[in-house]
Amino acid sequence: MKQYASGLEADPAKAEEDFAQVGQHAPSAAVAQGVTEAFRSDQTPPFAQMVSQLFGRSDPNQRAGLLNQLLAHVSPAMLTSLAGSVGSFLNQGSQPQVTPEQAEQITPAQVEEIAATAEQHNPGIVDRIGSFYAEHPTLVKALGGIALAIVMSKMADSNRN
């Protein structure tokens, strides 16, 4: 963690290994801050693309949880506009709950669209999704080396404070 706290340029390959050791035991809030920072970084792909990548590597329960997080923070009008791209289950009332079975029918590309739209309408969704993935640190490893170096750096900063 000292390497990340010092601001030294981290080796992305080493960051994956380091996160595998530290991520499971770090406080959830520190991991959430790190993931959120990686989502917002100009050194990583856009938020929606990263969420789509994580969705593609998630199990059905995690997929449903992510979709429910995204959909819980969008307006009814946005739900209506998204209904065509993600299926009729969005018409189940004012706040749909996606099941793991339904989540399996959604593609990563559709999740990218939902995440991009949600971020446009509610920038705070990035924090919420960061917190969601902090509860699933093994998935966070799928972000790749550069993003994990950012996660580790932010975790080191919060460890210092």
**CB 121 within 8 Å of CB 74:** yes
What distance in Å separates the CA atoms of residue 31 and residue 59, rounded to the nearest whole number? 20
pLDDT at 8: 47
Burial 26-61 (b: 16+ CB within 10 A, else e): beeebbbbbbbbbbebeebbebbebbbbbbeebeee
Residue scoring higher pLDDT (100 or 158)? 100
Q: What's the structural domain count of the chain?
A: 1
pLDDT at 6 over 50: no
pTM of the entire predicted model: 0.81
Domain housing 140 = 2-160
Cα within 13 Å of Cα(61), Cβ side: 2
How many Å apart are CA 55 and CA 150, to the nearest integer? 20
Q: Do residues 73 and 122 touch, judged by C-beta distance below 8 A?
A: yes
pLDDT at residue 5 is higher than 60 = no
Instruction: For residue range 74-116, list pLDDT tens digits in order.
Output: 777 766 666 555 555 555 555 668 889 989 988 999 899 889 9
Checking if the pLDDT of 23 tops 90, the result is no
What's the pLDDT at 1? 46
What whole-number percentage of the chain has pLDDT above 70? 76
Of residues 128 and 142, the one with the higher pLDDT is 128
Answer yes or no: are the C-beta atoms of 19 and 148 closer than 8 Å.
Answer: yes
Exposed, middle or buried: residue 113 (CB in 10 Å: 0-12, 13-18, 19+)?
middle
